[in-house]
A and B are shown apart, each in its own frame.
Chain A
Amino acid sequence: MSTDTDAGTNTAAASAAPSPLLEIRDLRVKVGGQEVLRGVSLVVRSGEVHAIMGPNGSGKSTLAHVLAGRPGYEIISGSARFEGRDLFALAPEQRARAGLFLGFQYPVEIPGVNNAYLLKAAVNAARRERGQSELDAFEFLSVVRAKIKLMQIDESFLSRGVNEGFSGGEKKRNEILQMLVLEPKLALLDETDSGLDIDALKVVANGINTLRAADRAIVLVTHYQRMLDYVVPDYVHVLARGRIARSGDRTLALELEKRGYDWISEQAAA
C-alpha cells in the first residue's frame, strides 16, 4: 500500500508484496465542472481492508462511484488499474463481472424486479464471465439461503421487489447480501454504515468480515469510525479537498474520532 502522502509507510513491504489488485495513480475527476478528486493515488492488494474517511464533500463517494463506472464524472487525468487492466476502459457491467462490487450508500428501489431475479442474473453474469456454467434455480437457492440467514433477512424477501419498501437498514443488509452472493475480488462499500442502528451495524459488519479473505480486498468509505470497531481496517486514509491528505493504520481513525476532520482539512489547504 502506498499513497502520495505517506512516504515510507510500507514501501519496503510493497516490493515483496503481490501485484496490486487496484492501483490508482494521480486521479483527477470533475463533476458538474468542478474538480472533486484532485490527484488521488492508492494501491490496494488482495487480503487488505482499507478505510477511506473524510469530511462531507471530500470526494469519498465520488472515488467509489468513478471506480464503479457511474456516468456523469469527467476523468481529467490519472489512471486506475484493476488486476492490471485499465478500469476506465471497461463498462460498469464489465467491471462488476471482473469482480468489482460497489455497495451503494443509497440503494435504489426497483419495484417490479424481484430480488431473486436480480441476484440470480447478477451471479450468472459473473459466472459466464469466468467461463463457469450458470446456476439453475435449485443451485442458486442453496447458495443464497445460507447467506440470507447470515444477514438475518427473511427468505420471503427474495420474492419482493428490489429494495421495495425496505427500511434504510434492510437496504444496506441487502447490499451486503448481494456482495456475499457475488463474492467480488474488490468490494467498495460507500457509507454502508450510514443510517444503521447498532444491531444492524453488527449484522452488516459481520457480513463484511465473512468476505475477508486472502484473495479479496475491501475498501470501506465512511464518515465515522464506529464501523471500524467491527471491521478493523489494515489501512486508514483521510480524503480532504480531493486528495488523500493522510494515511495510517487504525489509530488514525481513532484520532479522527477524537479530533474531528478540521485539522486535516486545514493541513490539506495549507
Chain B
Amino acid sequence: MRDYAAVAARLPDAAVTHEARARAMHELSRLGWPTSRDEQWRYTNLRAFERVPAFAPAVLTRAAHDTAPALELPPALPGFERLLYVDGVRAVTGAGVAAPAAGSGTVWPAEQRFGLLCDMFASDVAALRIRGSSAIEVLFVTSAAAAGAACYPRLQLALEPDSQLQLVERHLGAPDAPSLVCANVAIELGRGAQLTHYRLQQCGIHTAFTDTLSAQLADQASYSVRQVAIGAACARTSAQVQLAGRGAAFSWQAIAVGRGQQVHDTALKVDHRAPDTRTEEVFRGIADERARIAFSGHIHIAASAPGSDARQSLRGLIEGAGAEIDLRPRLEINTDEVKAQHGATTGALDENLMFYLLARGIDRATARALLKWAFLGDVLRAIELPQLRSAAEHGAAGQLPDILAIGALT
C-alpha cells in the first residue's frame, strides 16, 4: 500500500482510471493478503509474492523502450498481428487494432484478489474489440531492466457477436527479472462469438507470476483455452468463467511442468448459469524434483442451467521424490438435468506402459521420457498452430531434459 501511495499520482489514467485504482486498493485492503489457511490459496507459494521487494511498476523507474531492441523475440506467427508489451508497456505500435481505452477495473472476488494488484498498478492495457475474424498475438516480455521491480500486463478483450479471434497470449521473461509479473485478462464474448486463446507462460525462473482471468460468455459463444505453464519460480492462475448465455461452450486444456522448487497453482471456477452450456477441462501436470503443482477445478451448475454438460479430466504425474501434486475436482450441481463426469488421478508412470516399452528393447530412460511426453500429448496436440505448438513442446521439453534426448519433438 505504501508502494501504491508513492506512485499513484504517476500511474496513467489511460490504462485504468484513478478512481478504479483507488477502489481496487481499498478492496485489497479490506480483503487483506491471502493466507495459506484459505483453501483457495493453500497451494500457492504466497511467500514468493510476499518477498517481492517493490510493487511499483518497473516502467516508472526507467525508460522501457531503451531495452526493447535488445530483446530476443520469438519468430512472428504467420497471419497474426503482433502486439508487443515490454515490462508491461506497449513497445511497438501495431496497425488495425483499436487504441487502448481506459479500463474501469473488474470486480474481483477474494479468490482472485491478485487481480486487484494489477488494477492498482497497471501501466498500460491491451484493449481489443474484435469484429469479424482476427488473429492476434500479444507478447508480454519482461526485460533485465525490470529486475527487482514489477510488471503488470493487462488485456481487455471484447468480441462482438459472431466474431472470431485466435489469440496468443505469451509471457516471456529474462531469467533474472522481474520480481513480479501480475497480469489481468478480462474477456467478454458476444452472442455466437468464438475465441481460441493460447496462453504460454515462460517467465524467468526467479519471477513470481500471477494471472487473473475473467470471462463472460453470451448465448452460443465458444471459448477455448490452451494453456502451457512452464516458467516462473511460482505461478498462480486464478480464472473464473461465466457461461451466462444459453448454449455457451468452454474448454480449458492446460499443462503445467515444474522442476526444481517451482510451484504452479491454478484455481479455475466455471459457473454454468444458462441452459445447455458445456465445459470441458483437461489438465496434465508433471512435477519433477521438488516441484509442486496444484489444480483446483470448480464447476458450478446453477438451477437455471438445465441441460448442462461438464467434464473434467485431471491427471498428475509425480516424477521427483520430493515433488507434490494436488488435484481438486469439484462439481457443484443444483439442477437434475445435467451430464457431468470428472476424473482425477495422480501417481507415477503407468508400470504396464513402461513394461510394454521395455519389452520392445527400449531403455528405461528413453521409455520414461517417451511416456512423459505422451502424458502431455493430448494438450500439446490441441495447439493447432504448428509454430506455437513447437514452441510449447520445446518449452515443456526444456523442463524435462530427458525428453530432448529422445528426438520426439515436432
Contact = CB atoms under 8 A, between A and B. Distances in A.
A102 B351 CA distance: 16
Contacts of B375: 112
Contacts of A102: 359
A154 to B, nearest CB: 20
Given A71-B355, A91-B358, A112 B373 contact: yes
Interface residues of B, number: 27
A118 interface: yes
Contacts of B378: 111-112
B361 A113 contact: no
Given A71-B351, A93-B363, A93-B364, A111 B374 contact: yes
A113 B353 CA distance: 11
Nearest to B376: A112
Interface in B222-257: none
A20 interface: no
A225 interface: no
Given A110-B371, A112-B378, A113-B373, A68 B359 contact: yes
B356 A69 contact: no
Interface in A163-178: 178
B362 A121 contact: yes
A126 B362 CA distance: 9
Contact of B362 (A108, A112, A125): A125
Nearest to B364: A93
Given A71-B351, A121-B366, A112 B359 contact: no
A122 B367 CA distance: 11
A118 B355 contact: no
A110 B356 contact: yes
A118 B377 contact: no
Nearest to B380: A112
A122 B356 contact: no
B410 to A, nearest CB: 11
A47 interface: no
B377 A112 contact: yes
Nearest to B374: A112
A104 interface: yes
B408 A117 contact: yes
A38 interface: no
Nearest to B379: A112
A93 B352 contact: no
Nearest to B408: A117
B377 A122 contact: no
A107 B357 CA distance: 11
Contact of A96 (B359, B366, B370, B371): B359
Given A112-B373, A113-B374, A113-B408, A93 B361 contact: yes
B10 interface: no
B408 A92 contact: no
Interface in A36-64: none
Contact of B359 (A92, A111, A113, A121): A92
A71 B358 CA distance: 11
B370 A113 contact: yes
Given A110-B353, A110-B374, A122 B362 contact: yes
A126 B361 contact: yes
B377 A178 contact: no
A70 interface: yes
Interface in A182-202: 182
B30 interface: no
Contacts of A129: 361
B360 interface: yes
Given A111-B374, A113-B373, A93 B362 contact: yes
Interface string B381-393: 1000000000000
Interface in A73-111: 91-93, 96-97, 101-102, 104, 107-108, 110-111
A78 to B, nearest CB: 21
Contacts of B352: 108
Contacts of B363: 93, 125
Given A97-B361, A125-B363, A182-B361, A92 B374 contact: no
Interface of A: 68-71, 91-93, 96-97, 101-102, 104, 107-108, 110-113, 117-118, 121-122, 125-126, 129, 161, 178, 182
27 contacts: A71-B355, A93-B358, A93-B359, A93-B363, A96-B360, A104-B359, A108-B350, A108-B353, A110-B353, A110-B371, A110-B374, A111-B377, A111-B378, A112-B374, A112-B375, A112-B377, A113-B370, A113-B371, A113-B374, A113-B408, A118-B370, A121-B366, A122-B360, A125-B361, A125-B362, A129-B361, A182-B360
Interface of B: 350-353, 355-364, 366-367, 370-371, 373-378, 381, 406, 408
10 shortest interchain CB distances as A-B pairs: A112-B377, A112-B374, A96-B361, A122-B360, A125-B361, A92-B358, A97-B361, A93-B358, A113-B374, A108-B356
